[in-house]
Amino acid sequence: MKFDQVNKELFSFLNQSPNAFFAVKNMCDAFRQAGMTRLYEGAPWNLAPGRGYYVTRNDSSVIAFRIPKADYTGFQMMASHCDSPVFKIKTNAEITIDKQYVKLNVEKYGGLLCAPWFDRPLSAAGRVIVRTEDGIETRLVNVDRDLMIIPNLAIHMNRQVNDGYKFNAQVDMLPLFCEKGEESDAFMRLIAAEAGVSAEDILDTDLFLYNRMPAVSLGLNNEFIAGGRLDDLQCAFASLKGFLEAAPKDSVAVHCVFDNEEVGSGTKQGAGGTFLKDTLHRISRAMGRTEEEYLMSIASSFLVSADNAHAVHPNHPDKTDPTNRTYLNKGIVIKYSANQKYTTDAVSGAIMRTICRQANVPYQTFTNRSDLPGGSTLGNILQSQVALNTVDIGLPQLAMHSPYETAGAKDTAYLIEAARVLFSSSVEEAGNGSYKLKFQ
Ligand code: ZN
């Protein structure tokens, strides 16, 4: 497998995707380059067998699909997320201190680790909504330079800090932006200049901080990788690559990447919204299928919910379950949870294990320690919209929800290969707990 080449491409995707808006834009660029057709939710869909299409919602979630030439039995899907825990820049962001400094007012988005945000170059990226003659339009903005920093308090002013510190998001986490100058609104004027508009034409914004440090390889033999937003852009990237390399024959291949997983998915573009259900219904209708035929196709579909997993931590090996312990570079993680925070059951687990074997890639299993609650993901949330056999998987990583996370140098390539096999396969319900798995 071409691990180095895959990581090079992954790093470039991570570095060019400071948040969900950019991740979706970069994926759309890849679909366009692959000759796929862009669809809009507000326009009719005319679909043809043998073609590929993609559609976005809120410019921060995307679903792409490829229809096989022959009649299809179901949908082979992989879902991941493109948002990451981060600080969002509030409206009216500037705060002046002692008529000397300007810092920005920010708030937490998702369950983030505070400590690693200190003492490193940061910048701002997101979208601005601009007034036009007949309405509004969206522009993406990335201030592509080292711009801000959240300075730590010196140890001399807090001698107990190394014994544990409670971070107050309103006090401790506000980034220093500039010296106080003559003019006010320096931040919005900078954003307007980057967007190529005047500050007066900006009606509203969704802007976020991001860590400027680019992704790197490390370890004695470059066996590790580190970078921002590995959770979950590593899975989104692997799904994208496998999707584009696949040869769908008996099922529609569906690559979905959702925003807002880190805040519960309950938005119009999140996994708890109707985006996937609406899209599958529209595909079905455009292909001339009845409602019953749609439901039959869902019964013969399979969904892989791909969201990164916790590897055993070298300094805290006791935090992991005694018999389901996952390690970097040891392959795709299949996640189990008795209370179904992860959707995996014996059927979907068995199908995923078969896919990994067919792809000739290693896999490992994860459960939380029975005395630790763990997190959840988008797999079970999607069930309220489209209920079908689903497995929860991920790639093993360390420091989840830090702005700079660590993972294995081999695992991305393993998931690309498994995704390629998934998107080229079909899972046909045969009744009584039996399924026919067809691989190309
Ligand atoms: Zn995640």
What's the CA-to-centroid distance between 324 and ligand 1, angstroms?
Answer: 19
What's the CA-to-centroid distance between 262 and ligand 1, angstroms?
Answer: 7
What's the CA-to-centroid distance between 253 and ligand 1, angstroms?
Answer: 22
What's the CA-to-centroid distance between 393 and ligand 1, angstroms?
Answer: 11
What's the CA-to-centroid distance between 254 and ligand 1, angstroms?
Answer: 19
Q: What is the pLDDT of residues 34-44, one digit of tens each?
A: 999 999 999 99
pLDDT at 440: 80
Tell me how crowded residue 327 is: count the other CB atoms within 10 A of its CB: 14
Phi, psi of 146 (to 5 degrees): -65, 120
β-strand 74-81 against 86-97: which pairing, if any? unpaired
> Which residues have CB under 8 Å from 287's CB, separation 6+?
47, 49, 67, 72
| Nearest-10 Cα torsion for 385, 387, 388, 391 | 70
- What does pTM read for this prediction? 0.97
The 8-class DSSP code of residue 312 comes to P
Partner residues linked to 103 by β-bridges: 95, 176
| Edge-to-edge order in the sheet of strand 405-408 | 216-218, 224-227, 405-408, 396-398, 309-310
Kindly state the average pLDDT of the residues 217-222: 98
Q: Higher model confidence: residue 134 or residue 1?
A: 134
376 pLDDT higher than 90: no
What's the CA-to-centroid distance between 232 and ligand 1, angstroms?
Answer: 5
Q: What is the pLDDT of residues 236-246, one digit of tens each?
A: 999 999 999 99
What's the CA-to-centroid distance between 332 and ligand 1, angstroms?
Answer: 15
Kindly state the average pLDDT of the residues 169-184: 94
Q: Helices 230-245 and 20-33 sit at what angle, rounded to 10 degrees?
A: 10
Q: What is the pLDDT of residues 94-150, one digit of tens each?
A: 999 999 999 999 999 999 999 999 999 999 999 999 999 999 999 999 999 999 999
Partner residues linked to 290 by β-bridges: none
What's the CA-to-centroid distance between 140 and ligand 1, angstroms?
Answer: 23
What's the CA-to-centroid distance between 113 and ligand 1, angstroms?
Answer: 14
What's the CA-to-centroid distance between 346 and ligand 1, angstroms?
Answer: 23
What's the CA-to-centroid distance between 377 and ligand 1, angstroms?
Answer: 7
Q: What mean pLDDT, rounded, does the chain reach?
A: 97
In the structure encoding, which two tokens stand for residue 236, read together? Answer: 């989104």
Kindly state the average pLDDT of the residues 331-352: 96
The SS3 call for residue 297 is helix
1 pLDDT higher than 90: no
pLDDT at 17: 98
Q: Which helix H or strand E contains 155, and what residues bound it?
A: none
What's the CA-to-centroid distance between 85 and ligand 1, angstroms?
Answer: 9
pLDDT tier at 326, thresholds 50, 70, 90: very high
Q: Residue type at 206?
A: D
